[in-house]
Amino acid sequence: MHEWLITRGDVEGVPFEWQMQIYVPWNVVICHEGKCHQLLQHGNEGKILCLEDVLSYHSKKTIMSWLIIISEGISIAEEKAKWLQPYRVA
């Protein structure tokens, strides 16, 4: 399991109760070690693949609502919401 949109690294230094808010089904994916893991961590290509997978289970509205809620304690959530905004759901 791996966080894909907001990672543990993104919440370093944030109070523990906010750090725990990243462990939700729409922010955690299963990825293979090696190439898949590298693709996920470096660049948008892996993030887009994760987004496509997550959207087969959860709505974009769910993800955006979550990002708005956690932006109170996790400042990078606003940036992630801006990144996610232009993606259309099929």
| Per-domain boundaries in the chain | 2-84
pTM: predicted TM-score of the whole model, two decimal places:
0.85
Judge whether residue 38 has pLDDT over 70. Answer: no
pLDDT at residue 90 tops 60: no
For residues 64-85, give the mean pLDDT: 96
By the 8 A CB rule, do 80 and 6 touch?
A: yes
Q: Taking 70 as the threshold, does the pLDDT of residue 5 lie above it?
A: yes
> Cα(26)–Cα(24) distance, rounded to whole angstroms?
6
Percent of the chain with pLDDT over 70: 86
CA 16 to chain centre: 18
Encoded tokens for 43? 């660049």
pLDDT of residue 40: 61
